[in-house]
Homo-oligomer: A and B are copies of this chain.
Amino acid sequence: MSAPTKYLLSEDRLPKAWYNLQADLPQALPPVLHPGTRQPVGPDDLAPLFPMSLIQQEVSTEREIEIPEPVRDVYKLWRPAPLIRAHNLEKALGTPARIFYKYEGVSPAGSHKPNTAVAQAFFNQQAGIKRLTTETGAGQWGTSLAFAGALYSLEVKVFQVRVSFDQKPYRRAVMETYGAQCVASPSNETVFGRSVLAERPDHPGSLGIAISEAVEIAAQNDDTKYALGSVLNHVLLHQSVIGLETIEQMHMADTWPDVVIGCAGGGSNFAGIAFPFIGQALRGEAPKPRIVAAEPAACPSLTRGRYAYDFGDTGHMTPLAKMHTLGSTFTPPGFHAGGLRYHGMAPLVSHVKELGLIDAVAFQQTECFAAGVLFAKTEGIVPAPEANHAVKAAIDEALRCKREGKAETILFLLSGHGHFDMQAYTDYAAGKLTDQHYDEQALAKALDGLPQVA
């Protein structure tokens, strides 16, 4: 066996500022529109949902936004996160490529999500907010916000998609251990939830519905704000700490990636690893790697969605954003990477895709689990099902290098561990896991139903 090589930054190298890609874009991001007027929203329109500090980050074009010292102090509980060279995986593949992965599973929640949860909890606490609402699917994001809420003494109320609430009680148990309240969505606690239940009392829920419920509660209470775990600009901003660290670590490893890979659902972990590399290239400071977003074939917003204005939620309470979308009424089939089951893609990720700065690929779940099992056996870490999409893309690139005889450097983000997802691995090992295919007609209908924007 070959031992992995770890590149670890000392704490004083933890970035002091987040990186904002909006500063370096050759074309500005299309504006976000008010759901009623369909006119560009101003900061005041967002004030019921977010504290002004986060709204300012959302629209900022400053390149660097300072990470407050108290946030850096909490980051230090697990950051800087390691960059690791996967020697054993390289050997198993027989590839001349060098494979590096940045590992975010070292956080207390087991994924990259606390990078923004801690920041959002901090800025809300600074603004005097007492309570945060949010949605969660499988539970990575809800767990992370519950963790951050506990540290800042904020109440956290999580609307969890009912099917996950029922099937994955352990994530809920973690949220509740941190002191958060966890409610199955659709719920009777909101007007929107009741309207959904009135139509279908046994509705399994969806992220779009849970977002509507969380937004409704936040909008109605002055001491309550809403927190989103992906998609928004300020969320992607907070995740830039991943890529900023990785750039330093690639220098430590004395190499530079030819390819940078992340899995993509809402887009935040992908942006976290990719945007700092894109920014350096746009500023002419470093060669531009090829950047690859790996998404699920069963919910393929980047590869099969339309670039159009759409709502972020099912209840159509959120502003309209221009993004790659499958339509807010699209319901993806029930594959295991719950963190990637969202109809839209972060507007910033969609924008750089339109600008030709990134590529996207889509994979079925069984090939992703096969990649994850190989990774576990060779490198010792069981990846989250979401992260398996990045592992699969990295392995494909490494095999391409083998065919082409190229010693390229491949970098991917391992966004979290799979310790809460072992049922999926059990099903995979038993041959019970099948690839999932969305209904083409339902997708066409959802795309037809996209809102009309002048």
Contacts and interface: CB of A to CB of B under 8 A. Distances in A.
Interface of A: 1, 3-6, 8, 10-11, 70, 73-74, 76-77, 84, 88, 106, 108, 110, 147, 150-153, 169-174, 176-179, 373, 376-378, 380-382, 417, 419-420, 422-423, 425-426, 429
B110 A1 contact: no
Contact of A150 (B6, B151, B378, B417): B378
A174 B77 contact: no
22 contacts: A1-B70, A3-B74, A4-B73, A4-B77, A5-B73, A6-B11, A8-B11, A77-B380, A108-B417, A110-B419, A150-B377, A150-B380, A169-B423, A170-B423, A171-B422, A173-B425, A173-B426, A177-B373, A178-B376, A178-B377, A419-B419, A419-B420
A177 B425 contact: yes
B153 A1 contact: yes
Most-contacted residue by chain B among A88, A176, A419 (CB, 10 A): A419
A150 B4 CA distance: 13
A70 B2 CA distance: 8
A429 B150 contact: no
A241 B429 CA distance: 35
A174 B378 contact: no
Contact of A382 (B3, B177, B381): B177
A309 to B, nearest CB: 39
B169 A426 contact: yes
Contacts of A77: 3-4, 6, 84, 380
A185 B382 CA distance: 25
A377 B76 CA distance: 17
Contacts of A420: 419
The 7 closest A-B pairs by CB, nearest first: A3-B73, A170-B422, A173-B422, A173-B426, A108-B380, A419-B419, A150-B377
Given A169-B426, A419-B420, A426-B173, A380 B6 contact: no
B173 A423 contact: yes
A150 B376 contact: yes
A174 B419 contact: yes
Number of copies: 2
A429 B169 CA distance: 13
Most-contacted residue by chain B among A74, A77, A150 (CB, 10 A): A77
A153 B1 CA distance: 7
A93 to B, nearest CB: 16
B106 A106 contact: yes
A75 B84 CA distance: 13
A261 to B, nearest CB: 21
Nearest to A107: B380
Contacts of A106: 106
A363 to B, nearest CB: 19
A83 B11 CA distance: 13
Contact of A376 (B177, B378, B417): B177
Nearest to A10: B10
B377 A88 contact: no
A88 to B, nearest CB: 7
A238 B422 CA distance: 29
Contacts of A6: 11, 76-77
A174 B419 CA distance: 8
Contact of A381 (B10, B108, B381, B417): B108
A147 B381 CA distance: 8
B381 A426 contact: no
B151 A88 contact: yes
A176 B153 CA distance: 40
A1 B151 CA distance: 6
Given A3-B70, A150-B378, 4 more contacts: A1-B152, A88-B151, A108-B380, A173-B429
Given A373-B177, A426-B169, A380 B419 contact: no
A418 to B, nearest CB: 8
Contacts of A179: 377
A253 to B, nearest CB: 14
Given A173-B426, A377-B150, A3 B419 contact: no
